[in-house]
Amino acid sequence: MSVLSLSSATKSLSVLISSLGLLFVLSASAQADTVRNVVYGQKDGLAMVMDVYQPEDNANGAAVAYMISGGWMSSPMMQNAYESMFVPLVDAGYTVFAVRHGSSPRYNVLEAWSDVSQAFQFIAGNAGDYGVDPARIGVSGISAGGHLSLMLGLSTDDQPHRPAAVVAYMPPTNLRGMTGPNDNFPALNFDAALAPTVSPIDFASAGDPPVLLVHGDADDLVNISHSENMYAALQSADIVTDFVVIEGAGHGLFTGADGVTAADALKGWFDQHL
């Protein structure tokens, strides 16, 4: 069964990204000092960068690495659309690392995953420079960013550092049957045999960090079955987990009361587990 479908054959990736920018409507303004373009690595002669949002006067020693990714595209423009997600976190004292990876269409899912894995190790390894406890770093993201967040939380057992908690919104969790040439999602054009290596559902195991899943039950792009199956796998592995279903919500359009519910869930999870 295909677990990623477009509502129309002509829906473009740019439309998806535009809609993702509407995920949350929050009116607050974060009080933050922002350090731009911190280099966490290099690839193909290019600097791989992230921005760091630091609370002005109430830092709590915890942090969230936020994956700037939608359709496995990653850009400053997308980051601007996602900044509203940082508001309740930075205002509550969290440092936020906005991680940008090598972007589709030039780079595929496998390469995006490699980038964010490198970024997280850099963040944790240099956490002290930002007043952050390396044992109190969570990860989060929307759609493809949720997928990458789950990969960081569940498949990094052999790494020096791993996230302490995960919040994933509407994430693709099983990439089987989704790979190959794809005009809308070129990042999925890689060897089908490698799909299990970037499918979070394959990595749930005892000892993994707490995971919160948030998904709309009317999502016609990434079916809610992705999160349902992921939730079941997490429960089977005795991982601390919860699943928030936003009734009537599609992909990337959590606004109004739905946006408040989803944002409160994000902050609440990290308040509890970081």
Condensed to tens digits (0 to 9), the pLDDT of residues 91-133 reads 999 999 999 999 999 999 999 999 999 999 999 999 999 999 9
Token pair recorded at residue 38: 């911190």
pLDDT at 39 over 90: yes
Give me the chain's average pLDDT, please: 89
pLDDT for the residue 207:
96
pLDDT at 51 over 90: yes
pLDDT for the residue 256:
85
pLDDT for the residue 16:
41
pLDDT for the residue 6:
32
Q: Which residue has the higher pLDDT, 33 or 104?
A: 104
Amino acid letter, residue 227: S
Give burial (CB, 10 Å; 0-12/13-18/19+) of 223. buried
- Name, of 4-18, 70-84, 218-232, the range with top average pLDDT: 218-232
Answer whether the bond into residue 76 is a cis peptide, omega within 30°. no
**Which CATH number does 18-273 carry?**
3.40.50.1820
pLDDT for the residue 22:
39
Token pair recorded at residue 43: 């690839």
SS3 203: coil
pLDDT for the residue 264:
93
pLDDT for the residue 253:
55
pLDDT for the residue 255:
77
pLDDT for the residue 31:
59
Condensed to tens digits (0 to 9), the pLDDT of residues 157-189 reads 889 999 999 999 999 999 999 999 999 999 999
Q: Give the start-to-end residue ranges of the domains of the chain.
A: 18-273
SS (H, E, C) 11-67: CCHHHHHHHHCCCCCCCCCCCEEEEEEEEEEEECCEEEEEEEEEECCCCCCCEEEEE
pLDDT for the residue 86:
79
Token pair recorded at residue 238: 């005795």
Contact 227, 213 (CB under 8 A): yes
Token pair recorded at residue 74: 């990653």
Residue 7: band (very low, low, confident or very high) from pLDDT cuts 50, 70, 90: very low
Nearest one of 222, 178, 273, 205 to 69, comparing CA atoms:
222
